[in-house]
Amino acid sequence: MASLLGSMTAFENPKPSGLLIELIKLGSTKDGLVLDFFAGSGTTAHAILTQNKNDGGTRRFIMIQLPEPTGNPDSKTIAEITKERVRRVITKTER
């Protein structure tokens, strides 16, 4: 995550995207819809986008994150971190 977001992150221990990729492979179909009520830094969206690229899937996601303040001047809320991570992963996976 640090390679994507640099100093924007406010998370010391984000969920490992590799673990979520494995869970997505086990618990969803290639055209599934995944809902994450506690999106945090956007790890679930990152994992879904990565897995879609890996297997040609068309999984979609709904990420929900309240705009909780981070205390970080680079990103004022957790929701901003989530949105920026998803944007950057999309840009990265389109290459």
What string of pLDDT tens digits covers the 95 residues of the chain?
A: 455 555 555 566 677 889 999 999 999 999 999 999 999 889 999 999 999 999 999 999 999 999 999 888 888 899 998 999 899 999 988 77
Is the Cβ–Cβ distance between 74 and 9 less than 8 Å? Answer: no
82 touches 9 (CB < 8 A): no
Confidence (pTM): 0.82
Backbone angles phi, psi at 17, to 5 degrees: -65, -30
pLDDT for res 14: 73
The β-bridge relationship of strands 60-63 and 33-36 is: parallel
Question: What per-residue confidence (pLDDT) applies to 8?
Answer: 52
pLDDT value, residue 41: 86
3-state secondary structure of 5: helix
Residue 93 is predicted with a pLDDT of 80
* C-alpha–C-alpha distance, residues 72 and 62, integer Å: 25
